[in-house]
Every structure is written in C-alpha cells, then in structure tokens.
Structure 1
C-alpha cells in the first residue's frame, strides 16, 4: 500500500476519504496523490425537453472547481502534518521518507481519466456511494472498481478512528473475494485480529471459510473463522452484525459476485454494504 490515489470531488464524505487515506499512509509510509474529479465538459443537462436546449459546463467554472479541490486536499494534508512529496521518482530515499502527499493539477475532467490513472496505484480511496444529496457518486466507485484493475478502499460517511487493527473477511468462495484478500495482504500482515466468516446461502462453489483461514496460516497470518447457518437475515446483514461484534475497523469483500443488474433488482451483499456500512471496506472485482 505504498501509493494511494484520492479523487477529490465535492461531497459530504470528503473529510472521511482524506482521513482514511492518511490512516493508510501512516501505516505503510504511503504516498498520497490527489486529483480533481469533476464531470467532463461534454456532459450536459437538458433543461428544456421540448425545445431541446442544453447548458454546457462553463470552462472557467471547471477550472475554479479544480483549484478549489486542490486547496481542500492540500489544506487537509498540511493540517494533518504530512509533508509535501519531493519531486522526482520514488527512489529509496523517498520511500524512507514516510507518509507524504502530492497534488496533480494537470488532470482532465471526466471519470475516464480516473479509471486509467488508478492503474498506477496500489489502491484508490473513495467515499462510500449513496443516493442522498451530498453523497459520493456511484459512478466514481464503479469506474475505479471496474476500470483500474486495482482494489478500492471505501471510506465510510464518518471518518474512522483506526484502520486495519481488526479485520473481517466476508468470504463467499468467489474469485472476486479471493482477489480482494490478495490485495489486502499488507493489511492482513499487520492486523492484530482477523476473522473469516461465511454465510450459508451467500456463497458460490469454492473453498470454505475454514480453508481460507488455514491458507492464511500458511502465510504466517493468524485468523479464526465462523460459518453462519442460513437464517432470516441476509448475508449482508450478517456481515455487518459480525463486524460490529468483532470490533472490526476494516471489512474485506469481493464486489459484485452477482451481476450489478441482478443486485439492482433483487439486492445483494455488495449493495447492502454500500448502503449501510459504517466502517472502511476494501473491495475488488
């Protein structure tokens, strides 16, 4: 987790996104790069469905928005005591410098850049999306998740106090969750407590929670496991209840083992966690 990308957009969870990135950077001595995230100029909003009139985003307003995002990011990092990263490549001296930040100003508008640029980073830190006013956009999460090939660290609406001390792995036997566990190995190697849980009816053909715990032991990582029987609660509800009982401050899960369309219609664990989780989550697809 040596490099973290933080897309900066105007939403209520932005302080939590910054704090989640800082907690991670302090744990691993990471470089945090901030970039402005805003709609592309080609995106428009129809205001007259009869006449077909549209308003294009103003280029000057777009520039002002990007500058404001940069000030927010730099001010937060400065108040947190993080130094500005030195110019140049990440040589051994830079890597030994500990947590630090930089702001990239020359960033085009639109989500397309985010999905491509995120491929250069160990993880991308975004806010947990929501439907209410002021919540982070779902498109930001999904672009980073599906286009980057890297894991997503989801910040909860309220900034966490700790991160990665007690980890819960929501195991369903899938390739998506296996990737999430692989990406999470830096966290797992430093965690004080780890629990692997599965829920009957919420798994696909694959290894069991007990088998994953044994595999982690072969990596020198201690973890206990719980296999929950089917009940009246959904897998997503069980995951969050177990996370609270365990005192979890990081939940690891594969995203969208079921298709997005199916989850939109019928619901699913990923959709439930995206709607209700109050703890940081590391996800991968």
Structure 2
C-alpha cells in the first residue's frame, strides 16, 4: 500500500509554498507523483453575481477586472512552482509512464479556470490523497475552500500541511480515536503511514469519545494489520478537547496526526467551536483528516 498519486491545490502564498515542500517530502517517501492544480476564477461566473441595476458596460468592466486579477494570481503561482523546481532534485512528469521511468518523486503543474471547490473535489477523487495549505494562513481563503471541498465531497483523505515545512513526516504517528465512522475512515486511510512508522500512538479521552467502539477495539483492529500501537488517554486543556489532543501529540513527538473530521456538523463547529476546528487552526504538525 502506498500513496502513488497526490493532488495539491496550489496557492501563491507562504502557506502554499510550505504545502508544496510538504507534498514533495511526502512524494519522496512513497515515490509518488504530485500534481499541482491552480484554479483560476472564471470571469463568466461573476456575471450572475452582478445583480440587477448594472449596465452591460459595468458588468463587462467587472469581468475584465476579475480576469486581470485572476491572471496575476495564476502568474504568481506559476512563478512559485518554477522557482521551487529550479535547481532542485525533482523530476517533472506529465503521465504515469513518464513517472514510472523516473523511478523517483515527480511533479506536474496545471492552471485551469472554474470554481475551485467544484474542481478540487472532483479531481481529488482520482488521487490517493490531497495535500492542502494551512487554512489559517490569513493570506488566501481559497486554501480553506480546497480543504473543505476534499473533506466533504471527494471520498479521499486530506493532509493539511503545517505553516512551516516539517523536517520529518510519518515517523511517529498519533491517531485520534473516538469511535466514530470518521475516525475509523481516517485510520484506514493512514494504514500505509502506520506500517512505515517507527512508533504509533492512539489518543483517546472520555471527553472525546462518541457512540462506537472504544480504544480497545481499534487496538485489536491494528493488531490484525500487524501494527503495534500504544494507547494514551489525554485530558482537555482549559476545557478544550482539541488543545488536549494536540498537547498529547506534541508530548509524543508526533510528526503526523491522523483524525476524523467534523463528527459534529460543520455549522455547529463553526458556531460553537470543536476539536476539528481547534486542530485546523492551531496544529504545527501535518494533520491527515477524513470525513
């Protein structure tokens, strides 16, 4: 088992560059291909949003401005990609046949026009995993759009890159367990990482547990996959379950956290907060999520 094909929705930001470095590091581990996809805003999508009372000339001017801004952003992303590959030990490949001949991590780049949340979700279904920039970059909200598109509409796991590129990934792996379908899907998707890891820890808490099997059940499941894991109970920090989860992962020296996302509805988490939201906003390590 391996992650052979990785999709990276690329933005021209510092968070996007960190995600690119994280993706290449991951690709080198698995000898996989990273396809960098930049989705430009389609100016034609602006016209229906213009509303009533605007003249044809005003709508055309709005579309032209959108086209210029989208083109400028696409140029910055292309420049970021070109700078990254220049002089680095990476191989460009546009097909599976070319990637097989390279026998190394390979990269490709594509810029298309459309709705990012639609295209990213649809394209992710053809990849083993998506890697997205950190959603709290405060530079480009589209990175968060890509994250939620993969989580809610792709059926694939997503790895959220940290703000700064990690030095290692997947050597010491923590898995958050609360008995839900989401946490089960996340652990199943992370099996290649768990087989490769030097150490695996299952994090659980009575404040995190939902209806479903307890930690003993998932430990037994992993043993059937010849994966030895230790279970560690964590406690909330200042009533924040997410803070307790991240604290326990840091104490373990984890360089990858695997967890289910949005066991409660996304709306509830946005209004009331939640474990998923806290981890997304505060994690300084790669986080692999499934829903």
- TM-score scaled by length of structure 2: 0.87
Secondary structure of the structure 1 residue equivalent to 2:77: helix
Alignment counterpart, residue 105 of structure 2, candidates 96, 99, 119:
99
The secondary structure found in structure 2 opposite 1:200 is coil
Alignment length (residue pairs): 282
Question: How high is the TM-score relative to the length of structure 1?
Answer: 0.89
1:102-251 correspondence to structure 2 within 5 Å: 102-105=108-111, 107-111=112-116, 112-130=118-136, 132-133=138-139, 137-228=143-234, 232-251=238-257
Residue 76 (structure 1) aligned with residue 84 (structure 2): yes
Residues 95 and 116 from structure 1, CA distance in 2 versus in 1: closer, same or farther, beyond 3 angstroms? farther
User: Which whole-Å CA distance do the structure 1 matches of 2:69 and 2:249 have between them?
Assistant: 43
Aligned counterparts of 2:195 and 2:126: Cα–Cα separation in 1: 23
Shift of 1:143: 1.0
When you count helix as a share of all residues, which structure comes out higher?
A: 2
1:232 shift after superposition: 4.5
User: Which residue in the other structure is 2:39 paired with?
Assistant: 37
Q: CA deviation at 1:181?
A: 0.9
Q: How far does residue 78 in structure 1 lie from its aligned partner after superposition?
A: 3.8
Cα distance, 1:207–1:96 mapped onto 2, change above 3 Å: farther
After superposition, the C-alpha distances for 1:211-254 in whole angstroms (9 at most, x for unaligned) are 21221111011110013367753220111100110000000011
Does 93-102 or 36-45 show the bigger shift?
36-45
Q: 1:78 to 1:177 in 2, by over 3 A?
A: farther
Check whether the contact 1:13–1:135 (CA below 8 A) recurs between aligned residues.
Answer: no
- Any residues of structure 2 matched to 1:263-274 within 5 Å, and which? 263-274=269-280
| Separation in 2, partners of 1:267, 1:58 | 34
The 1:133/1:196 distance shift into structure 2, 3 A limit, reads same
Uncovered stretches (5+) of structure 1, i.e. residues with no partner: none
Partner secondary structure for residue 120 of structure 1:
coil
Unaligned runs of 5+ in 2: none
Give the Cα separation in 2 of the matches to 1:11 and 1:136: 11
Measure how far apart 1:75 and its partner are: 2.7
